Amino acid sequence: MKPLAVYTTGRPVPPAEEASGSFYDLITRGIGDEWQGEIVDVDCVTGGPLLLPGEVSGIVVTGSPAHVWHREPWVLALEENLRLHHAAETPLLGICFGHQALGSALGGVTAPHPRGREIGTPELEFIADDELFEGLEELPRFVPMSHLDSVVELPQGARVLARTEHEPHAAVRFGPLAWGVQFHPEMDDEIIGHYIHDRKDAIAAEGFDIPHLLAARRPAPIGPRLLATFARLVLGATKQP
């Protein structure tokens, strides 16, 4: 079996990374035993070679403090690579920045969110059935969020699967085997607390009440289930003739 790849596009804030590890660590922990093969970590930021269709069973693209709309060379290279994989129907899952990069790569527009930052564990509203959400209906629907940008215009043919009160494109199916989620399924409410503390000066300057944000956090159990479901979908795709 070809490996499942984690395309790493940045690092968690220092206190979160110190407590819980890198995005690769968080994602592989969330996938758990659902994937029995190799999971490889590919650093996108340093300009190293990205994997090509046929070299990988599926790809998860991580979050990042970078901005897609800055159009840095490594972001452009990432988007070109994602287009190749999308055309080859490699299973793809973009998380936060990865979701935005996938939306941009396929013809959408990623930009600063018109309503500003979203941070905390808002409630997710499912608005379309999808196999990525299998088994999630029975769980509390709070999701870890920390973002300033959004896919403000979807690519042609994309379908919105879920939203929050703040984010209308919280989960999107971009194609037959391509999904993006603006939230962080690899995180939990404790990690979001680290993000709130680390960015408290900027958040407070934007008018947020820090004690209220911390007190309003809720457990977010659907994330690991979603990551495991994506791994199962990748396994299913690799078994197709």
**Catalytic residue numbers, as ranges:** 96, 184, 186
* Cα 62 to Cα 23: distance, rounded to the nearest angstrom: 7
Instruction: Tell me 191's DSSP state.
Output: H
User: Torsions phi, psi of 190, nearest 5?
Assistant: -65, -45
- Would you state the structure tokens that stand for residue 2, as one six-digit string? 């070809």
Tokens of 115: 């309503």
**How far apart, in whole angstroms, are the C-alpha atoms of residue 177 and residue 164?**
23
With H, G, I as helix, E, B as strand and everything else as coil, classify residue 176: coil
**Residue from 173, 174, 187, 185 nearest 228 by CA:** 185
Q: How many residues does the chain have?
A: 241
H/E element, 6: strand 4-8
Torsion of CA 18, 132, 180, 205, to 10 degrees: -50
Q: Which two tokens stand for residue 225?
A: 């289930």
Task: Report how far residue 186's alpha carbon sits from residue 180's, in angstroms, rounded to the nearest whole number.
Answer: 13
